[in-house]
Each structure stands twice: as C-alpha cells, then as structure tokens.
A = this chain, B = another copy of it.
Amino acid sequence: MNTEKLVSEIKRKQSFLCIGLDVDLSKIPAHLLELSSPIFEFNKAIIDATHHLCVAYKPNIAFYEAYGLEGWKALKLTIDYLNTNYPEIFTIADAKRGDIGNTSSMYAIAFFEDLGFDSITTAPYMGKDSIEPFLAFEDKHTILLALTSNPGAFDFQTLESNSKPFYQSVLETSKTWNNSKNLMYVVGATKAEFFKSIREIIPDHFLLVPGIGAQGGSLEDVCKYGLNSNIGLLINSSRAIIYASKTKDFAAHAAQKAKDLQQQMKAILVKNKT
C-alpha cells in the first residue's frame, strides 16, 4: 500500500489508530482455547469488530514465534484474513529485523512476499546495507526504530554524538539511503517532548507511535508536535484494546476501547482541519 492510500483511509475513517495484535494465550477468553487456532480466532474476532475504527493492524511477531509452528500458522491465517477481507487496512509486521544485506533480503522476502505485509519494523544498528534491501520493495514501507518507548531507550539512543543524540543521527543518516521515501519511524509516545526536534529533521515521514495507554504516553501531547500536513502519525494501542475484557463478548469491549480512541482522534483532526 502506498502512502497516499493510507492517508486517504485515515481521512475517510477519521482515525489514525493502529491496533497491536500481540496475542498471549494466557490472556484471551477461555472459550477460544477449545478452537483449532485460538490465536487466529481471537484476532479474527478483534479485526471484525474494530476494522472500521482503525487504519492498521500490527502483529508483534514475537508473540507468534513463541508458539512455534502453531504460532506461525496463526500469523499466516491472520495476515491472509486481513489481505482478503480488508485490503484497505495497512498491515505492519512488528519484527524489528536487521542483518547483513543478503540476510535482510531474506527477511524482506519473508514478510513482504511470503506473508504479504505492507510494512515491517527494523532496527538501525547494522546501518545502511541492513535496511536498503527492505527499502527496495515498491509500495512497501520500512519502519525504522528511532526513539523507542521503553526505559532502555536512554541506554544508547540518547547518547550524545557530534552534539546531538544518537537517534537524531539515525534519522539524518537514514534520510540519505536509497528509496528513503519508503521509510517510516518508530517514536515512542512516552517521549512526546522529543517530537518537535524529530519533526524538524523528518517533517514528512510517518511516525509509528507505541506507548499510548499501558505505557503512559499522551495522545494530545503526541499530536501537538507530531501531526503534519499529511497527518503523518499512526498511534498504536495493543493491550488496552485487545484485552479490554476476557468475557465472551471481548470483541465488543475491544471495539468500545478502539472507538474511544478513534473519537479522540476525530476531534483532533477536526480541530486541526485535516
């Protein structure tokens, strides 16, 4: 999916919500555990109940790999279900991959071609030749870690180098890579005070923003400095939505939580005349 289509879906739905599908079998309703693929059935119910309130879904691949072959099957069923039934949805493989060039090419094949995701998250540590193989795919996006939402972000990402924090070097250098128009960036909602300087370096790129809700980030603060003329934000919420309830009507509870966020987003878009 290209950026124009994503922006038009955000405007149509008045939502820039991404829902994280991080399925932990110990947290889903018990009645699903009797089905042949509980993970997929959970995702399917969440997707059917929330697809009109969000523009993106983001399975975190760790939660599927932890269940081995069954997990990988559930991931495949989930992305196939999304691509078949909701092709207007932007899909994100939250995988945080990155390796030497020929190996990154194999990951790109895995997630863009074999599974058919629209985008993948990647880690910058190994530099240009570890990311360009992902960027080579047309109408696919590569979402590079910049400033993450976890406490460990302050271990290395904010170290000063050449009088600026390291994550700013990641932003500036990555802009020079081939097909950098296909880049988006991960910036944590818990770092709202950093959005202004980030937008000075990358005014046009989309930011994928985790950390609203369970991790304590504020939607208002993120939008104040993060929105651009193309909206330019995907706000992710995972646990607060998908685990809203463990009852049989869990999907309706999830939809209510998603709607609360969508309504807040709509108000922000109206206020900003977007």
Q: Which residues of A contact B (CB under 8 A)?
A: 22, 24, 60, 62-63, 65-69, 71-73, 76, 94, 96-101, 103-104, 106-107, 109-111, 114-115, 123-131, 145, 148-157, 159-162, 166, 169-170, 173
Known: A159-B166, A161-B161. A123 touches B152 (CB 8 A): no
Chain B residues whose CB sits within 8 angstroms of the CB of A173 once the complex forms? 155-156
The 3 closest A-B CB pairs, nearest first, are: A127-B152, A127-B155, A62-B106
Which residue of the partner chain, among B76, B99, B145, B152, contacts A60 with CB atoms under 8 Å?
A: B99
A148 to B125, CA, bound (A): 9
Chain B residues whose CB sits within 8 angstroms of the CB of A67 once the complex forms? 114
Chain B residues whose CB sits within 8 angstroms of the CB of A24 once the complex forms? 106
Which residue of the partner chain, among B111, B124, B149, B150, contacts A156 with CB atoms under 8 Å?
A: B124
Chain B residues whose CB sits within 8 angstroms of the CB of A161 once the complex forms? 159-161, 166
Chain B residues whose CB sits within 8 angstroms of the CB of A125 once the complex forms? 123-125, 145, 148, 156-157
Chain B residues whose CB sits within 8 angstroms of the CB of A153 once the complex forms? 126-127
Interface centre among A66, A126, A129, A160 (most CB of B within 10 A): A126
Chain B residues whose CB sits within 8 angstroms of the CB of A155 once the complex forms? 124, 127-128, 173
Chain B residues whose CB sits within 8 angstroms of the CB of A131 once the complex forms? 152
B68 engages A107 (CB within 8 Å): no
B151 engages A127 (CB within 8 Å): yes
A148 engages B65 (CB within 8 Å): no
A267 to chain B, nearest CB (A): 29
List, sorted by A's number, 13 A–B pairs whose CB atoms are closer than 8 Å. Answer: A62-B97, A65-B107, A66-B110, A68-B76, A68-B114, A69-B73, A94-B99, A100-B149, A100-B150, A123-B125, A124-B125, A126-B153, A128-B155
A158 to B155, CA, bound (A): 16
A145 engages B159 (CB within 8 Å): no
A160 to B164, CA, bound (A): 11
A185 to chain B, nearest CB (A): 13
Chain B residues whose CB sits within 8 angstroms of the CB of A129 once the complex forms? 150-152
Which residue of the partner chain, among B72, B101, B123, contacts A69 with CB atoms under 8 Å?
A: B72
A145 to B125, CA, bound (A): 8
Which residue of the partner chain, among B22, B76, B162, contacts A159 with CB atoms under 8 Å?
A: B162
B126 engages A150 (CB within 8 Å): yes
A101 engages B68 (CB within 8 Å): no
A99 to B129, CA, bound (A): 21
A68 to B96, CA, bound (A): 18
A68 to B71, CA, bound (A): 12
Chain B residues whose CB sits within 8 angstroms of the CB of A94 once the complex forms? 99
A69 to chain B, nearest CB (A): 6
